[in-house]
Structure 1
Amino acid sequence: MVRMSAEERRESVIRAAVKEFARGGYHGTSTEAIAKRVGVSQPYLFRLFPGKKAIFLAAAEWCMETTIRTFGDASKGLEGEEALHAMANAYTQVIAEQPERLLMQLQMYIAVGAAEQEGDHEFGEAVRASWMRLWDTVHLPLGADVEETTTFMAYGMLINCLIAMGFPSDHRVWEGIYESSRRKDAPGK
């Protein structure tokens, strides 16, 4: 049996935490569930991370960084509409293959909102900083056009919500998204 390094074990904890937090949220997920998913004891978990909050923030950071990397890789060398479609297609593939990443994103926003109401700004500061890196990763290939970036991010959030709620792809709520995409692809647009 091959032993993992502390860094490899830490990475496995983060990936397990993404799955557990995506399913149960911050308050509904126990560190015991994360430890069990990884196959370690809770005390070992706390040798890698000082507490549940640190695990959640590491999972949130991992989730955002992988999304940033997805957009960056997809748009590399592209601009404008080509970059937009490449990023949209890459993200669509990721959330189809790894729905826990989408659900983790939504759980991050919930956790930030709840923490902010309780006066805890650490969640918000960390998630907002990651989100701004995501914004910049999208913004530059779209020609640093604020309207294009806003539209891309707004459609992304709408798509996240529709998928999270389980709307099938042929449901009428998708018509506006499909129609908008066709209009943008129309000749002369």
Structure 2
Amino acid sequence: MAKNETTMVNRKSDIISAAIAVFAEIGYYRATTAQVAERAQISQPYIFKFFATKEALLLTALEVSWTRVVDSFRKVVESAVPEQLESGLIEAYEEILATYQNEVLLQMQAQTIREASIQEAMRNGYGEVRQMVLEAFRAAGIPNAEERTMLFLARGLLCNISVALAMPELKEF
């Protein structure tokens, strides 16, 4: 990759990271691309070199956050022994919560946004995670795999709320 291309990839990544932070901190609707640009230390017009709209930037930020969850879970699924699968997935998600809290908060906010494209991105993200966990539970021979998957996802959402409200007692189980 040429130096200029590398710089552009890095700048795009910086913009996405800045957007995740700004959207998580003040909300998608209140956030402006000017605030994202300021956080990324670039000019506002430079954002539009990569993203046609603020919504396109949000969709990319959501894609990054869901990819992180999916990739993290995939590593566990590919390496865990059946007896440690669920605990491995829990540990992986706790690591995401600790390290990428803004991405989790972004996903939580996106759940309430009614735009069709954002709802679709959220359905796709949850659907991919659900399917991966369900298939892994079935392959591991976990009894009642469907119910255990639902409980796993429900606990994950409760963990999200715990982080958002600074109530660690919600995730103690």
| Length-normalised TM-score, structure 1 | 0.80
Counterparts of residues 24-103 of structure 1 (less than 5 Å): 24-78=26-80, 80-103=82-105
Counterparts of residues 1-189 of structure 1 (less than 5 Å): 4-78=6-80, 80-111=82-113, 115=114, 120-143=115-138, 145-167=145-167, 169=168, 171=169, 173-174=170-171, 177-178=172-173
Q: What is the CA-CA distance between 1:135 and the residue it aligns to?
A: 1.4
Equivalent residues of 2:107, 2:122 under 8 A apart:
no
Q: What is the CA-CA distance between 1:80 and the residue it aligns to?
A: 4.2
Q: What is the CA-CA distance between 1:63 and the residue it aligns to?
A: 0.6
Equivalent residues of 1:57, 1:123 under 8 A apart:
yes
- Measured on the aligned residues, the alpha-carbon RMSD in Å equals 1.8
Equivalent residues of 2:97, 2:163 under 8 A apart:
no
Name stretches of at least 5 consecutive residues in structure 1 with no aligned partner: 179-189
- Residue identity matched to 2:49: R
- Residue identity matched to 2:135: L
> Alignment partner of 2:136: what SS?
coil
- Residue identity matched to 1:166: A
Q: Identity over the aligned pairs, expressed in percent?
A: 26
- Give the 4+ runs in structure 1 shifted more than 4 A: none
Q: Residue 142 of structure 2 aligns with which residue?
A: none
Q: Quote the Cα distance in structure 2 between the aligned partners of 1:81 and 1:28.
A: 45
Q: How many residues align?
A: 165
Q: Quote the Cα distance in structure 2 between the aligned partners of 1:107 and 1:79.
A: 34
Name stretches of at least 5 consecutive residues in structure 2 with no aligned partner: 140-144
> Alignment partner of 1:86: what SS?
helix
Q: Quote the Cα distance in structure 2 between the aligned partners of 1:65 and 1:98.
A: 12
